[in-house]
Amino acid sequence: MRKLVLLLPSLLVACSTAPRASSDPPIHGETPGHRCTTSGTERFVGQMASEDVGTAIMRASNAAVLRWAPPGVMLTMDFRSDRVTVRLDPSNKVTQIRCG
């Protein structure tokens, strides 16, 4: 039993992960300094989806995460205040921009 107690801390260390760099955005939750707002993003509705349009939408909305939503694709229902969701029509044009 005593050997098991001495071995337990080394097993727990083997299960731990390396700390992430502070510049990496969090995978879940909120990115500090980013809170999505859709005011001013109406000008992108009707434009074709592209990397440049996505970057401009992220900049205009202050979002850290961009999620494209083509028709027929299921999306998660989790809310992230740092994410902007861009809905597209079948021809790949922006139809709606929402936060979350």
pTM: 0.69
pLDDT band at 48 (very low <50, low <70, confident <90, very high): very high
Which CATH topology does 31-100 take?
Answer: Trypsin Inhibitor V; Chain A (3.30.10)
Rounded to whole angstroms, the Cα distance separating 27 from 10 reads: 28
Q: What is the pLDDT of residue 74?
A: 93
Report the alpha-carbon distance of residue 10 to residue 100 in Å, rounded. 41
Q: Where are the domains of the chain?
A: 31-100
Q: pLDDT tens for residues 59-89?
A: 999 999 999 999 999 998 888 899 999 999 9
**Would you place residue 28 in the very low, low, confident or very high pLDDT band (cuts 50, 70, 90)?**
low
Long-range contacts of 40-47 (CB under 8 A, 24+ apart): 41/84, 41/97, 42/97, 44/86, 44/94, 44/97, 45/94, 45/95, 45/96, 45/97, 46/93, 46/94, 47/93, 47/94
Q: pLDDT tens digits, residue range 91-100?
A: 999 999 999 8
